[in-house]
Structure 1
Amino acid sequence: MSDPLREPTIPASQLYTRRRVAPLLALGFASGLPLALTGGTLQAWATVEQVSLQEIGFLTLVGTAYTLKFLWAPVIDRYAPPFLGRRRGWMLIMQILLALGMMAMGLMSPGQSLLPLALLAVAVAFCSATQDIAFDAYRSDVLQKEERGAGAALSVLGYRLAMLVSGGLALILADQWLGWGQTYMLMGVLMLIVALATFWAPEPAVPAETPRSLARAVVEPFKEFFSRPEALTVLLLIVLYKLGDAFAGALSTTFLIRAAGYTATEVGTVNKLLGLAATIIGALAGGALMAKLGLYRSLLFFGLLQAVSNLGFWLISVGPHNVWLMAAGVGLENLCGGMGTAAFVALLMGLCNREFSATQFALLSALSAVGRTYLAGPFTPPMVEYAGWPTFFLLTVAIALPGLVLLRWRRADIERIDGRTDA
């Protein structure tokens, strides 16, 4: 018997073409485009121009703004530009500044003016992080509950495509066709083009109130969040939900090359092409399924798939040396990881109070990196040395389980966030 209280299933094609959802593809692209240009691509440019290894090492500090963006997120919550609304106005300002900054980087050379170029890259990273603050808040504000999964999926798709363009494609263009300066110029023009999506994107149906003061914008996001009865357990869930995935992926490239014996070309091809395609398919499928399953059941189902998919790496570690086996394992892990990411981003959006969505999303997304940065990174090497690769990958499945147990325990909290109760 059908449940009269359950929302009707929405076709995926209709979800992804909705006016509130479709622009997120281009806006996600704008969000991801600057990252490699101030990171890996910039380091490659410096390497080609014979900059010393020590100086290239300092370039890794350029991206610090991405981890500290929660510090100025309250400013984005409090103040609104006089055009395009509180979120889109900031997005457009940052997109124009980013385009100009990328073009200005193209006028310099790391071999001749490394310090000015590095300082400009810091400014570009700051503008990029600020755009991310506004974009994450806009996405949280504009999407309806049943659209969050699809919105998260399109954002991930746009972001990944942008990283491919500003990473791999930019290197090819710079090396074979345009040179480094012209490539950065082209990326700036591309940013201006995708910025047009900011005009196309609609305002939220009911705009949220703006905090009355900067002090309120700083204090109230914390006060409001921690006044919720589920606050601490949800914060712990954010750390634990993708922890097994983080451990499995921390040294996956090293494992495939050094332990499994695949060449760098084989690993690069599988990771860049198949891995990216599988992540995109997983995110899009996850976004579509969320409209039917709801947030809680999606998190549980996709979380189980994330855990089980780590067995693909275990099979690579004990199985024969076979590129197809390696591709299947990597593809499965990325497919399930993409589905989990769509649900996880939807959870973060659902946790945000729209009045403070810029600050709260920035804080929650920073917290979500704790497991990857401070747990998986430092502890994976000693675990591998002690247990060996096959046992380590079995342990990553176990590491994923506490998050799923916590999710099951706090089911009512997640369903309250989602605004539905599944039978």
Structure 2
Amino acid sequence: MQGRNGSPKPMAVSSSLNSIQITPRTPKTPRPPMYSDDDDVELSLLNEEERVQSARDRDEEESVTDSESDLKKPISAKDKRMMALLCVLYLLQGIPLGLALGSVPFLLKEHLSYSQLATFSLSSYPYSLKLLWSPIVDAVFFKAFGRRKSWIVPMQLIVGSLMLYISLNVERLMEDPAHNIIELTAVFLGLVTFSATQDIAVDGWALTLLSKDCLSYASTCQTIGLNTGFFASFTVFLAFNSEAFAHKWGFPQLTLAGYLRFWGIFTYAITAWLIIFKKEDKEPATEADMSIIGVYKQIWAICKLKHIQLLIIVHLFAKIGFAANDAGTSLKLVEKGFKREDLAVVVLIDFPFQIMGGWLAAKWSRGDKPLRPWIIAFWPRMGFAVLAALIVYFFPHPPIPMYFFIIMVVHTIFSSFASTVQFVGISAFHTRISDPLIGGTYMTLLNTFTNMGGTWPKWFVLKGIDLFTVATCQVPKTGVTVKATECVSEHGKAACKHIGGVCHMETDGYYITMGICLGFGVIFLLAFILPTARRLQSLPISVWRVKME
């Protein structure tokens, strides 16, 4: 095994769900001899005014030079092939994510309460905690096999094997999910964990697979691959898994077991191709390489920067405003009678718009104000969350009128577009401020917190929907009304039905949770996010540097 203490030494990688870092290979504008490589380091010890004055000229010169160079050079045939490979590797990550975050919760909703779904949502957390083990993935590898392939190959083999395992046991697990919720959470937790580890290695490989001038396309490959895999496992699968959809269009019904078997075999096939046909280029050693312990110390040093601490607070709370919409709206629509195949049609229509939105947002985020589209998109996302609550409230009894279906399609398209704009905008900002000497570690840290900002509220949202819901069990024959919060869970509903009663919802916790999230989101946006983001965006690159020991 090859480690950071050995030779040759590796470089730090980027590991994120949101973006790929342009790290040590980013060219720098030649500087006069009076400027040494230690200048950026020592600038972090100066006061704010001195740092701004010392760094602004150099930062602007480098930014303009690099941007003009990237725009003029065409994409080579080799870069196109490597982009295709990256899209496939990110696709393999999107498949388990689409299952864990999308289709499986929908299938479980018929049998579990929101609180039980909150337990299953814990399986998605590893994707937001990759920072904890990313330095190990970056540092430990088999030199002869390849630095990135040493992790990508075994992780994909494990993911493929887990898919086959789940396919063989899915009927047992899904037959009584309430009693198997721990095992279901554990197997999907493992699936997401190993996919997240593969993501760390793929993010790092992108830095050498693509040429220097095409590194900015890595995040585009990630967006296309992850979204394609996610939608394949979410909306496409839900549509073909629906008995009504299969009967209507004459397709055989796609089972979860069959779907998992297909992707397990496909993952094996791609992994075999990597082993046999794809040789990994060696990465040169750099001055940024350090021991695993050194990387963890560097992470702590980054966290002690004042501006990083402010950015972390922004990331951890920025998504609360639309957390209830992201976590609960789709489940509520299905509960109201929205068919899974109709949901699939809505999102499939939205998919090409998301891809186009990614390209447009990438253009808007270029330049010295990458956070501008991210900031602007907050307001439409808040507005679309309000509209989502109105759609749930006024949702008609099936069949759904065409006009209402069109409203849902338009809402989904514009809502996801605003989300994509924020996704690309914050990725561009992370790329801009990360220290090239420790770019991978820096990017992993930043994206860990932005991912956690979207993950940690989900458990509380789903718990809150049940907590604030007030239901009564009404027994028509006797005229007895039994007030019971248990009537919101599947167990409580079954108990009510057993005594001949009907659950009547007096207060839907979804709307209360949505109001709390939106209220906090608007206040936090106006009081903290907007002034802080504008200030952080205006700072020179030098203030984001740390002293290398």
| SS across alignment from 1:107 | helix
Contact 1:307/1:400 (<8 A) preserved: no
Question: Structure 1 204/309 Cα, relative in aligned 2: closer, same or farther at 3 Å?
Answer: farther
Aligned equivalents of 2:73, 2:425: Cα separation in 1: 15
In the other structure, the counterpart of 1:285 is 360
Aligned equivalents of 1:398, 1:276: Cα separation in 2: 32
Contact 1:279/1:336 (<8 A) preserved: no
| SS across alignment from 1:410 | helix
Between stretches 93-102 and 176-185, larger displacement belongs to 176-185
In the other structure, the counterpart of 1:307 is 379
In structure 1, which of residues 404, 413, 420 is the aligned counterpart of residue 539 of structure 2?
A: 413
In the other structure, the counterpart of 1:216 is 294
> Once the 2 structures are TM-superposed, how far is the Cα of residue 171 of structure 1 from its aligned partner?
4.9
> Once the 2 structures are TM-superposed, how far is the Cα of residue 386 of structure 1 from its aligned partner?
6.8
Question: Structure 1 392/130 Cα, relative in aligned 2: closer, same or farther at 3 Å?
Answer: closer
Residues 195-210 of structure 1: pairs in structure 2 closer than 5 A: 195=271, 196=273, 208=286
Contact 1:15/1:150 (<8 A) preserved: no
The answer on 1:29 being equivalent to 2:91 is yes
- Provide structure 1 residue ranges, at least 5 long, that are not aligned to the other structure: none
In structure 2, which of residues 419, 427, 431 is the aligned counterpart of residue 337 of structure 1?
A: 419
Who wins on radius of gyration, i.e. which is larger? 2
Aligned equivalents of 1:16, 1:404: Cα separation in 2: 42
After superposition, the C-alpha distances for 1:135-193 in whole angstroms (9 at most, x for unaligned) are 33444676678756532232122111112223344456667356444332211122234
The alignment covers a number of residue pairs equal to 409
> Once the 2 structures are TM-superposed, how far is the Cα of residue 341 of structure 1 from its aligned partner?
0.6
- Whichever residue aligns with residue 283 of structure 1, its letter is G
> Once the 2 structures are TM-superposed, how far is the Cα of residue 304 of structure 1 from its aligned partner?
0.6
In the other structure, the counterpart of 1:185 is 261
Aligned equivalents of 1:13, 1:286: Cα separation in 2: 20
Between stretches 95-104 and 140-149, larger displacement belongs to 140-149
Question: Structure 1 96/384 Cα, relative in aligned 2: closer, same or farther at 3 Å?
Answer: closer
- Whichever residue aligns with residue 26 of structure 1, its letter is V
> Once the 2 structures are TM-superposed, how far is the Cα of residue 66 of structure 1 from its aligned partner?
3.2
After superposition, the C-alpha distances for 1:314-353 in whole angstroms (9 at most, x for unaligned) are 4677799853344333321211211221222343445555
In structure 2, which of residues 437, 447, 472 is the aligned counterpart of residue 365 of structure 1?
A: 447
Contact 2:288/2:437 (<8 A) preserved: yes
In the other structure, the counterpart of 2:172 is 111
| SS across alignment from 2:416 | helix
Aligned equivalents of 1:121, 1:376: Cα separation in 2: 17
Aligned equivalents of 1:44, 1:312: Cα separation in 2: 22
Aligned equivalents of 1:134, 1:155: Cα separation in 2: 13
The answer on 1:125 being equivalent to 2:200 is no
Aligned equivalents of 1:192, 1:142: Cα separation in 2: 21
In the other structure, the counterpart of 1:155 is 222
In the other structure, the counterpart of 1:235 is 312
In the other structure, the counterpart of 1:91 is 152
> Once the 2 structures are TM-superposed, how far is the Cα of residue 108 of structure 1 from its aligned partner?
3.5
Residues 376-387 of structure 1: pairs in structure 2 closer than 5 A: 378=460
In the other structure, the counterpart of 1:75 is 136
- Whichever residue aligns with residue 368 of structure 1, its letter is T
Aligned equivalents of 1:206, 1:53: Cα separation in 2: 50
Residues 168-183 of structure 1: pairs in structure 2 closer than 5 A: 168-171=235-238, 176-177=252-253, 179-183=255-259
Between stretches 103-112 and 91-100, larger displacement belongs to 103-112
* TM-score (normalised: structure 1): 0.73
Contact 2:123/2:192 (<8 A) preserved: yes
| SS across alignment from 1:111 | helix
After superposition, the C-alpha distances for 1:57-97 in whole angstroms (9 at most, x for unaligned) are 86555445434433322311221222454334312221222
Contact 1:32/1:158 (<8 A) preserved: yes
Question: Structure 1 289/137 Cα, relative in aligned 2: closer, same or farther at 3 Å?
Answer: same
After superposition, the C-alpha distances for 1:266-303 in whole angstroms (9 at most, x for unaligned) are 9725652244333322123223444xx32x42321243
Question: Structure 1 344/148 Cα, relative in aligned 2: closer, same or farther at 3 Å?
Answer: farther
Contact 1:43/1:56 (<8 A) preserved: yes
- Whichever residue aligns with residue 131 of structure 1, its letter is Q
The answer on 1:298 being equivalent to 2:370 is yes
Q: Comparing both chains, which one has the higher relative contact order based on Cα–Cα distances under 8 Å and sequence gaps of 6 or more?
A: 2
After superposition, the C-alpha distances for 1:332-380 in whole angstroms (9 at most, x for unaligned) are 1211211221222343445555676665544433311443345587479
> Once the 2 structures are TM-superposed, how far is the Cα of residue 264 of structure 1 from its aligned partner?
5.0
Aligned equivalents of 1:86, 1:170: Cα separation in 2: 34
Aligned equivalents of 2:520, 2:348: Cα separation in 1: 28
- Whichever residue aligns with residue 190 of structure 1, its letter is F
Contact 1:154/1:284 (<8 A) preserved: no
Aligned equivalents of 1:197, 1:400: Cα separation in 2: 45
Contact 1:25/1:157 (<8 A) preserved: yes
| SS across alignment from 2:539 | helix
Aligned equivalents of 1:57, 1:14: Cα separation in 2: 45
- Whichever residue aligns with residue 79 of structure 1, its letter is V
- The structure with the greater share of residues assigned to helix is 1
